[in-house]
Structure 1
Amino acid sequence: MNKVILIGNLTKDPELRYTPNGVAICTFTVAVNKRVNGENQADFINVVAWQKTADLCATYLRKGRQAAIEGRLQSRSYDDKEGKRRYVTEVVAENVEFLGGKEKQEQPGMSDPFADPFTNTGQPIIISDDDLPF
């Protein structure tokens, strides 16, 4: 079984890219705290999210924000510009939860993913077929 669960803080803003076929890819690094010999230390873990999860991470995560990531560990290699073989180990995110409560909205019109849709609105929630996971 290949399953990873991490809780950490983003070390910088996520980076969103697209494949030539238009598939969203979001990459970011989380600092995960640990104690070694009574001292606080951190591991820096690279995370990759795809498709809808990538879009959501790029929209709502920012440097310093805490997130819980559930996914699988992946190792891969590639040749860099100098022809040298490089190896990468990363977590492929299957589920990301945004932790740490609300933060100030930095982008005008950005909806609040933490708002309670049933509080004092009296309005029905409209969900499109694109939002359904099945």
Structure 2
Amino acid sequence: MSINVVTLVGRAGRDPDVKYFESGNVVCNLTLAVRRRSRNSDQPDWFNLELWGRDAEIAANYIRKGSLIGVNGSLKFDHWQDRTTGVPRSRPVVRVDRLDLLGSRRDNETAANSYNYSDDEF
């Protein structure tokens, strides 16, 4: 038996990056900042999220940098070869199966202005 389940609650690190395909499919990529449950940790952990279909469209319409969201999904790894060095590379990505919009619109606007993080830290 194997289990691959990821559940996260955090704030969007940037506005969603949405791509529409000729086939009608839509994909949304964004980052999620999640604070650890430790008193000593001021820096969030960063996660790459990938959403498809209706969840991708919802994310595109309602999520902005700083929005509080919850996600359930599975962990996968993207693999590619570095263009300049030719070295194989990979990165973990959470493939989101369920998206929950948390907080109010006002909360999200306030969070975007006051939450101190940078997408460059990831």
TM-score range with shorter-chain normalisation?
Answer: 0.7 to 0.9
Paired AA for residue 81 in structure 2? D
Q: For 1:88, which of 87, 91, 94 is the aligned residue?
A: 91
Distance of 1:18 and 1:97 partners within structure 2: 22
Measured in 1, the distance between the counterparts of 2:98 and 2:83 equals: 33
Deviation at 1:85, TM superposition (A): 1.8
Residues 51-89 of structure 1 deviation map (CA, whole Å, 9 limit, x = unaligned): 111011011000001000110111120123333322010
SS at match of 1:58: helix
Matched residue count: 105
Q: Normalization by structure 2: what TM-score?
A: 0.77
Q: How big is the shift at 1:36?
A: 4.5
1:17-37: CA deviations, max 9, x gaps?
A: 123523100000010001456
Partner of 2:5: 3
Q: Alignment identity in percent?
A: 30
Question: How many angstroms apart in 2 are the aligned matches of 1:39 and 1:67?
Answer: 20
CA contact (8 A) 1:35 1:41 kept: no
TM-score norm. by structure 1 comes to 0.70
Q: Which has the higher helix share?
A: 2
Task: Label 1:18 to 1:81 Cα distance change in 2 as closer, same or farther (>3 A).
Answer: farther
Match of 1:97 in 2: 100
Deviations 1:105-134 (A, max 9, x none): xxxxxxxxxxxxxxxxxxxxxxxxxxxxxx
Q: How does 1:52-67 map to 2 (within 5 A)?
A: 52-67=54-69
**TM-fit CA distance, 1:40:** 2.9
Aligned to 1:41: 43
Q: Quick one: structure 1 residues 19 and 103, their matched pair in 2 at CA, closer, same or farther if it must change by over 3 Å?
A: same
Could you say which structure has the larger radius of gyration? Answer: 1
Letter in 2 for 1:86: R
Gaps of 5+ in 1: 105-134
Tell me the residue number matched to 1:117: none
Name stretches of at least 5 consecutive residues in structure 2 with no aligned partner. 108-122
> C-alpha distance in 1, partners of 2:55/2:17?
13
